[in-house]
Amino acid sequence: MVPDAELQLGVVIKALRDVVAPAVDPDNKLALEQLHLSIATVGLVQRGLPLAHARARQELLNALDLAEAVGAAGCPVETMPAQAALADPAANETRLDDARRAMLIAVEQAVADAAGTERETAVARAVIRASKPQCDLARAWSAPAGFEVEPDALPPLADLLARGSAAAP
């Protein structure tokens, strides 16, 4: 459809930067800070928009790997809804995200239930190890915000989204 979302976000950024920013009272530091953050935030959304579906699939795949790792450590977690969402070509980001959130709640509960049992350490290690792909993805996704001390040390975002992109129906 014309105009597309990328174009619309682009013109918003341009308007805020070129027209609105110079018109803001330079003594209003709160307004200036929020304007610049608004421009940066819209820029992040613009960058992420074409990757939204791959992001949702990859995050669900990461959560599924986590759930299976915890299951292998002795605490089985229901994964069928997540697998069904991944197998459904019509599953949109909302469905994928809902499936992920529900499964993460179950995994978090499994960690709590394992406390004080002989499985506790194995479950903890499984969570730590299986959380790395999701931690890396979240960091690479947020890297343009500038909080990374060594952003170049992160794996490329495209690599971290590879399975989510490749598996998209």
**46, 136, 163, 167: residue in contact with another protein (rule CB under 8 A):** 136
Total binding residues toward another protein, as defined by CB under 8 A:
44
Of the pair 5, 138, the CB lying nearest another protein is at 138
- Among positions 49-78, residues that touch another protein (CB under 8 A) are 66, 70
Of residues 105 through 134, those in contact with another protein by CB under 8 A are 105, 107-108, 110-112, 115, 120-121, 124-125, 127-129, 131-132
At 34, list the tokens: 């929020």
The single-letter DSSP state of residue 154 is: S
* Nearest-angstrom CA–CA distance, 56 and 162: 12
Closest distance to another protein from the beta carbon of 145 (Å): 4
159 binds another protein (CB under 8 A): no
- With CA atoms as reference, report the closest residue to 55 among 144, 133, 153, 127: 133
Tokens of residue 166, six digits: 């490749």
DSSP per-residue string spanning 1-55: --S-HHHHHHHHHHHIIIIIHHHS-TT-HHHHHHHHHHHHHHHHHHHHGGGHHHH
Q: Is 29 in the site for another protein (CB under 8 A)?
A: yes
Is residue 63 within 8 A of residue 134, CB to CB? The reply is: yes
Binding site for another protein (CB under 8 A): 28-30, 32-34, 37-38, 40-41, 66, 70, 98, 100-102, 104-105, 107-108, 110-112, 115, 120-121, 124-125, 127-129, 131-132, 135-136, 138-139, 141-142, 145-149
